[in-house]
A and B are shown apart, each in its own frame.
Chain A
Amino acid sequence: MSKIIDELLYSESHEWVKVDGNIAIIGVSDFAQEEMGDITYVDVPAEGDSVSRDEDFGALESVKASSELYSPVSGEVVAVNEELEDKPELINEDPYGAWIIKVEMSDKSELDTLLNAAAYAEIAK
């Protein structure tokens, strides 16, 4: 049973969102990191890049696989977690602590279309 945190919102492609004012902090769920196995690299956008709901903004790489990261919200990337460059395994060790990007949202109503913890638990089996 993978871990799910109640206070967060989730996308169907296994990203989590923590809302902080107008900023969406984005990472991947415990289920996602378990599926990937040992993560060897995180392909991230640059600060200032724009992202759109459901479009890919990067990828997680493991030895034998690669998985696109899809943005749960639209907006501008205001921060990228630099620690992941040298230590991508942080996502495996602490998926809810190791955020990947922070996005200044352009349309907060998109949050309403995301899943709450209970709904996500149904997919993350």
Chain B
Amino acid sequence: MKYYDKLIFELSCPGRTGYSLPTSFDASSRANLCSPEKRLAVASSVSDAASNIDSTAETGIRAAVPGKLLRESALELPEVSEVDVVRHYTNLSQMNFGVDTGFYPLGSCTMKYNPKINEEIAAHPLFAGLHPLQPADTVEGAREVIDGLDKALAAITGMKHFTFLPCAGAHGELTGLMLMREYHMARGDSARVKVIVPDSAHGTNPASAAVCGLEIVEVKSGADGLVDVESLKPLLGPDIAGIMMTNPNTLGLFERQIGEIAGLVHECGGLLYYDGANMNPMLGKVRPGDMGFDIMHLNLHKTFSTPHGGGGPGSGPVGVGERVLPYLHIPHTSGFHGNFGVMLRAYAYILMLGRENVKLAGPLATLSANYIKESLKDSYKLPIPSVCKHEFVFDGLINDGAREGKTGATTLDVAKRLLDYGFHAPTIYFPLLFHQALMIEPTETESLETLDAFIDVMHRIAAEAAENPDILHGAPHNTPIGRPDETGAARNPVLKA
């Protein structure tokens, strides 16, 4: 990776153009290019000193729209030639690390390989030009994609049907909670305004609940990291709309009492919501619908291989069982049909897997996670030694090298040192239960050599810490930039050029 310190605005030069548009909407005018006036107009429109067709064209809008409705200030967008735009963004990309660059063991993110056939299908011209409001009989193919994906996800999860409007996991959670409320409202039960969430839950859970007008009630985890059923019982009452859980939970542990939990929650009149962020180890092995969940969301950009894109676009379809099915299409949380381009990718992936290979996805992901856990527990603290699923949590280094005059190496330091060795760091400082949390999720698409290389580097980093934690404190050394001043950025925000 090479440090490249430009912003596109700094490449701007008045008169440069990177666009190609017809000179007028009148196509027939191109036939008259031979005329001297037209040639002059075309020529001057590409010269730096232009005025010309633009100013005559400008009278078009000025004639149609009164002056007081027109923009007053100059529009300062970059004026850059095509080659310089391409170079700029190509150079930016070379400061980025993707799954295609190297191993990306971010716990809870499921950074599996993004197949390229997906990209080809997503860009297919027979889908790209469809307007979302076109009449149904002109988009039968697109509708079949959505129906086919719906059926496939239903088969994989045991739910009945999905809505594809949510654009991300948190968006799906929100939609799912709205469905929970619709269910209770339809029964005239307005007292149910609380949702139970394990204390190990991701921050989006309480935030989504708040957006939905619901209050969060936390249930404690036991020493084994699982929801403590005895702590759950007193929380259940007529004000409970339901419980939000992820299974396996954020520690990578399967909530083995889910059957009992489902029974208790249903008995008190509540619903069960499954946060599908951790669906990967369940792929091909366990179906949330079979465990008693009434509503769930999936992250197509996690479990179903669609690329993360640097932070989106994703897709968070929400599936429901019989109880909630009548309400499925009530919430409209996005403007058209959802992120159709993402859905195309997920569908292609499922077809490539097929019913045979889907059965191996979860187990291989789980095997890989356990392999790393067993290989590194000699150097990193493993608070919960039981067999995990697709991810697990270390609680920092066993020997962080702390001594007279030197503070020990923290999880942050380990993460930054990993960058020097060409790996993306795991998830750090989540879940909050462990103060030096390091959450590792390899997924099923990594070879044994890659896993061994990662294990080797993690051992090396542990050895470095034990010998001299300052090596880690100063990391990363081999990346385009070193650690940034985040405090300064927050105290004196500069948020635009």
Contacts and interface: CB of A to CB of B under 8 A. Distances in A.
Contacts of B5: none
Contacts of B490: 40-41, 61-63
Contacts of A89: 491
Interface residues of B, number: 5
The B interface, classified by DSSP as helix, strand, loop or mixed, is helix
A75 interface: no
A88 to B, nearest CB: 7
8 closest Cβ pairs, A-B complex: A40-B490, A38-B487, A63-B486, A40-B491, A63-B490, A63-B487, A40-B487, A88-B491
Contact of A41 (B429, B486, B491): B491
16 contacts: A38-B487, A38-B491, A40-B487, A40-B490, A40-B491, A41-B490, A41-B491, A61-B490, A62-B487, A62-B490, A63-B486, A63-B487, A63-B490, A64-B429, A88-B491, A89-B491
A63 B485 CA distance: 10
Contacts of B429: 64
Contacts of B491: 38, 40-41, 88-89
A92 to B, nearest CB: 10
A63 to B, nearest CB: 5
Looking at A40, A62, A89, the one whose CB has the most chain B CB atoms below 10 A away is A40
A41 B490 CA distance: 8
Interface string B469-497: 00000000000000000110011000000
Contacts of A38: 487, 491
Interface of B: 429, 486-487, 490-491
B316 to A, nearest CB: 25
A65 to B, nearest CB: 10
Looking at B429, B486, B487, B491, the one whose CB has the most chain A CB atoms below 10 A away is B491
Interface residues of A, number: 9
Nearest to B429: A64
Contacts of A40: 487, 490-491
Contacts of B486: 63
A10 B491 CA distance: 28
Given A40-B490, A41-B491, A62-B490, 13 more contacts: A38-B487, A38-B491, A40-B487, A40-B491, A41-B490, A61-B490, A62-B487, A63-B486, A63-B487, A63-B490, A64-B429, A88-B491, A89-B491
Interface string A30-44: 000000001011000
Contacts of A41: 490-491
B223 to A, nearest CB: 24
A3 to B, nearest CB: 22
A88 B487 CA distance: 11
A62 B490 CA distance: 8
Interface in A69-122: 88-89
Interface in A36-60: 38, 40-41
Looking at A41, A63, A64, A88, the one whose CB has the most chain B CB atoms below 10 A away is A63
A12 to B, nearest CB: 19
A68 to B, nearest CB: 14
Interface in A6-45: 38, 40-41
Contacts of A61: 490
A110 B337 CA distance: 56
A63 B484 CA distance: 12
Contacts of B487: 38, 40, 62-63
B107 to A, nearest CB: 17
B79 to A, nearest CB: 36
B449 to A, nearest CB: 35
A64 B486 CA distance: 9
A41 B487 CA distance: 10
A38 B487 CA distance: 7
A63 B490 CA distance: 7
A108 B305 CA distance: 61
A40 B491 CA distance: 5
Contacts of A64: 429
Nearest to B490: A40
A31 B79 CA distance: 53
B484 to A, nearest CB: 10
A61 B487 CA distance: 11
Contacts of A63: 486-487, 490
B216 to A, nearest CB: 15
B58 to A, nearest CB: 44
A62 B486 CA distance: 10
A63 B429 CA distance: 14
A107 B285 CA distance: 62
Contacts of A88: 491
A88 B490 CA distance: 11
A88 B493 CA distance: 13
A61 B490 CA distance: 9
A37 to B, nearest CB: 8
Contacts of A62: 487, 490
A64 B429 CA distance: 10
A86 to B, nearest CB: 9
Nearest to A37: B487
A38 B429 CA distance: 18
A61 B486 CA distance: 13
A124 B389 CA distance: 39
B359 to A, nearest CB: 40
